Chains A and B, each alone.
Chain A
């Protein structure tokens, strides 16, 4: 069964520094990959997704992620973070061919921006 691991539960980083949030999934079958962001006391918002094509995916708010099939990873990056990026970030995976479009979720990574 598919599983998703977000390697860091919290990532503290100084404002304007680069950040990488790591996500690995277990199964090597074809997958679709998603990153969602949850700001404090809010619902989840789609940040970006990989369905096919270029392995570098750009999302909202300056975030991007790179799909690496050989390493079964989909790490999220931003070259310069802002205080407004403080949030929890979730990686999710959907197996190709799952007719019910179910997502398997990571446990989340809290991004803490230090002034």
Chain B
């Protein structure tokens, strides 16, 4: 258990409303990631963070922003939700695996529906 929680676990919202998803870790790992999962696409990286206030874009960052004001929390915000952002969102942390790389461990996911 990598000590990752996500909230909320389920959310239904309307087009145009802002939405914030929270990822919380208990073990002070430096790297955190937000992915979205859609059928046929596997996981696609939205944003990642390599430290407090240090973030960068991933493959599908348009329409999303992130913030990390504390090591343990990584927030994903949809400024104005659209139906194309209906998806399952996963947070991950990176844990040292030796040999110069890390292994990613995942939270339970948030299912977001935008009507």
Q: Show the binding face of A for B, using Cβ within 8 Å.
A: 6, 9, 32, 34, 36, 42-46, 49, 51-52, 90, 92, 94, 96-97, 100-103, 105-108
**Of listed A49, A97, A100, A108, residue having the most chain B CB within 10 A:** A100
Contacts of A94 in B (CB 8 A): 101
Q: Show the binding face of B for A, using Cβ within 8 Å.
A: 31, 33, 40-45, 48, 50, 56, 58, 90, 94, 97-109
Residue of A at shortest CB range from B90? A43
Residue of A at shortest CB range from B49? A100
Assess the A43–B108 pair: CB atoms within 8 A: yes
Q: How far is the CA of A94 from the CA of B101 in the complex (A)?
A: 8
Assess the B31–A100 pair: CB atoms within 8 A: yes
Q: How far is the CA of A94 from the CA of B98 in the complex (A)?
A: 14
Assess the A44–B106 pair: CB atoms within 8 A: yes
Contacts of B100 in A (CB 8 A): 96-97
Assess the A102–B45 pair: CB atoms within 8 A: yes
State which of A6, A52, A90 has its C-beta within 8 Å of the C-beta of B99.
A52
Assess the A42–B99 pair: CB atoms within 8 A: no
Q: Which 4 A-B pairs have the closest CB atoms?
A: A105-B42, A51-B99, A101-B102, A44-B106
Contacts of B58 in A (CB 8 A): 102
Assess the A32–B101 pair: CB atoms within 8 A: yes
Residue of B at shortest CB range from A106? B42
Contacts of A90 in B (CB 8 A): 42-43
Assess the A105–B43 pair: CB atoms within 8 A: yes
Assess the B41–A107 pair: CB atoms within 8 A: yes
Residue of A at shortest CB range from B41? A107
Residue contacts A-B, CB under 8 angstroms, 21 given: A32-B101, A34-B104, A42-B108, A43-B90, A43-B107, A44-B106, A45-B106, A46-B104, A46-B105, A51-B97, A51-B98, A52-B99, A92-B43, A94-B101, A96-B101, A102-B58, A103-B45, A103-B104, A106-B42, A107-B41, A108-B42
